[in-house]
Chain A
Amino acid sequence: MTNEPLIRVQGLRKTYVQQQPFSRGKFLVRALDGIDLAIRAGSSFALVGESGSGKSTLALCMARLEPPTEGKVWFDAQDLFSLTGPELMLVRRHIQLIFQDTAAALNPRFSAEEVIIEPLRIQSVGTRAEQRDRAVHLMEKVGLPSAWLSRRPHQFSGGQRQRLAIARALALQPRSLILDEAFTGLDLSIQAQMVALLQNLQSLEKLTYLFISHDLGLMAHVADEIAILHRGRIVEQGEPGRLFSNPCQPETRALLDAIPGRHSALSFGQS
């Protein structure tokens, strides 16, 4: 295993112009103000911050869904934003995004099967029969009955929809998943199930995870390394244990304080 990180972000900046609704002025919004990251292959990295800290913008940039104003993103030593054509299509397979709003992330008119095989169709992978088999295989992998392939997303519960989204993300056999607030809005027990599923998949498929969340407590359970994001910058970074016992920055402390029942979190978070 090389020491070169799978994903590297260097000097990422994203600013955009926003029009004030009631006045004539426009002002610049600095969503990302110089981000540097390195994520090792097979690890789980977490980005934690409050709303408005730029988390989702970062996710979109790293998935090459939004161009940054400045900076670079490297995937497997390739400059993500200079790729085009078939090379880009190949790299796109390896970075998949899971969204927070499960209902919005799946086209309500599609059947579960169509949802899962959509990436295969877009990238023209396999015959119809092969795609169908793959759909069955993926459903089972995420723990959903393959008989439900003909159902529509609205017939699934929130947690089940998220599993469906994960199945779709796995269709192209990616190397990394970016999970943007993937657990927010789910019941605690469902959250626990999802965490278990993801950890299982990570060892099976050798995946690299980037979690984005505001829930520092939960991230402590799943991440090997956490970075605290505040107003478009990383203010602190480190292993969960160190952050919890020795937070340096006020923003980190604020997030820690926001965890309900903090002391219990401390004792659990050490494993």
Chain B
Amino acid sequence: MSRSGMVRVAIVLLSLLYGAVLLAGFLAPYDPAEQDREHPFAPPTRVHFIDAEGKLHGWPFIYGLTPSPDNFAEYQEDRSRTFSVRPFVPGDNYSLLGFSLRRHLFGIDEPGRIFLLGTDGYGRDQFSRLLWGGRISLLAGLIAAALSLVLGMVVGMVSGYFGGFTDDALMRLAELFLAMPWLYLLFAVRAFLPLHISPTVAFFLLVAVIGTVGWARPARLIRGVVLSARERKYVLAARGFGATDFYLLRRHILPQTMGVFLTQAALLIPQYILAEVTLSFLGLGVGEPVPSWGNMLGSLQQYHILASYWWMLAPALVLVPVFWGYHVLADFLHERLEFGQ
């Protein structure tokens, strides 16, 4: 596949993923906190078109799920009843753009349950949780990256443009931040903040921590751009017309930093998504009952769950296309930065 073809695919893929998690309420058949104690660790429901008698149904359908008689941990399909997968079904309330809505993309009549990605230990639908959890993880990555980049931009521009003591001091500080292995640094900052906090506070705290800790590399890179942009003759000419520092920064220097800004964004966002996932996985991030891809993976620290219930890996697997998309974008932007200009 050609390079630009891959970039287009990457953009479409990422848009679909972000779109899907934003529409989580609509796409998910169940509320993420809803438990089904009778079906813990149920495997993904198989969707059929042809039933046991060989008849073709118009709509896809599923069978009921009953625990298997000999092994209580396993399930069997109960072929006595079929449930059609219905479109645009009313279900639990959710809010979208401030509106409270009830229609979901698809659903099943009671008492049938459709678990497209199985359930966890509490019988919660993993597919719904994947969508809702994606909001947390993907958005955390995005907002934290924006925070790092804005901080880095401000520091980089001030440092590079004004130079002198401020520049020295800021760059030495950056060096300290970069001298620590980043995950240790993240942990250190997280360590001293309150442990037992509500999921909402945890989300903002997480974003703040991940975002502020990562300002150093963007700052250094932006500073480099500013240093060379500052010396350009057209900047000198503008100064000759009486331009203020602010004008020069805004009109001439800032546009030059856009290339680095975008490339760094493509590199940082996946790293920060992973940071959220890692922290939540270890219990230091967003906690129950709010799902995030990280805390959904948390139960996998127990080996028997890890080995027996493969569908619980879904949050980790979905990271692969996310990473791929951002890597392709980063490569593309990096090349354009080096040679385009």
Q: List 10 A-B contacts (CB under 8 A).
A: A64-B240, A65-B239, A92-B240, A93-B242, A105-B234, A107-B234, A109-B255, A119-B241, A122-B238, A123-B242
B242 touches A92 (CB 8 A): yes
Question: A104 near B: Cβ within 8 Å?
Answer: yes
Question: B252 near A: Cβ within 8 Å?
Answer: yes
Interface residues of A in 113-151 (CB under 8 A from B): 118-119, 122-123
| Chain A residues closer than 8 Å to B86, beta-carbon distance | none
A147 to B234, CA, bound (A): 23
Known contacts A92-B240, A104-B232, A123-B242; 8 additional CB pairs below 8 A are A88-B242, A92-B241, A96-B240, A97-B240, A101-B233, A107-B232, A107-B234, A172-B241
Partner of A122, one of B233, B247, B255: B247
A105 to B238, CA, bound (A): 10
A123 to B232, CA, bound (A): 21
Interface residues of B in 238-266 (CB under 8 A from A): 238-243, 247, 252, 255
| Chain B residues closer than 8 Å to A122, beta-carbon distance | 238, 241-243, 247
The A/B interface has a contact count, at CB < 8 Å, of 44
Whether A65 touches B236, Cβ cut-off 8 Å, given contacts A107-B252, A109-B255, is: yes
Residue of B nearest to A172 (CB): B241
B92-115: CB near A (< 8 Å → 1, else 0) gives 000000000000000000000000
A63 touches B241 (CB 8 A): no
Query: Chain B CB within 10 Å — which of A65, A95, A106, A118 has the most?
Result: A118
A88 to B247, CA, bound (A): 17
A105 touches B233 (CB 8 A): yes
A99 touches B233 (CB 8 A): yes
Interface residues of B in 204-254 (CB under 8 A from A): 232-234, 236-243, 247, 252
Question: A89 near B: Cβ within 8 Å?
Answer: yes
Smallest distance from the beta carbon of A76 to chain B beta carbons, Å?
A: 17
Smallest distance from the beta carbon of B226 to chain A beta carbons, Å?
A: 15
A123 touches B241 (CB 8 A): yes
| Chain A residues closer than 8 Å to B236, beta-carbon distance | 65, 97, 99
| Chain B residues closer than 8 Å to A106, beta-carbon distance | 234
Smallest distance from the beta carbon of B125 to chain A beta carbons, Å?
A: 51
A118 to B236, CA, bound (A): 13
A107 to B239, CA, bound (A): 13
Residue of B nearest to A86 (CB): B242
Residue of B nearest to A180 (CB): B233
A64 to B241, CA, bound (A): 10
The 7 A-B residue pairs whose C-beta atoms are closest, nearest first, are: A119-B241, A104-B233, A105-B233, A92-B242, A107-B234, A122-B241, A89-B242
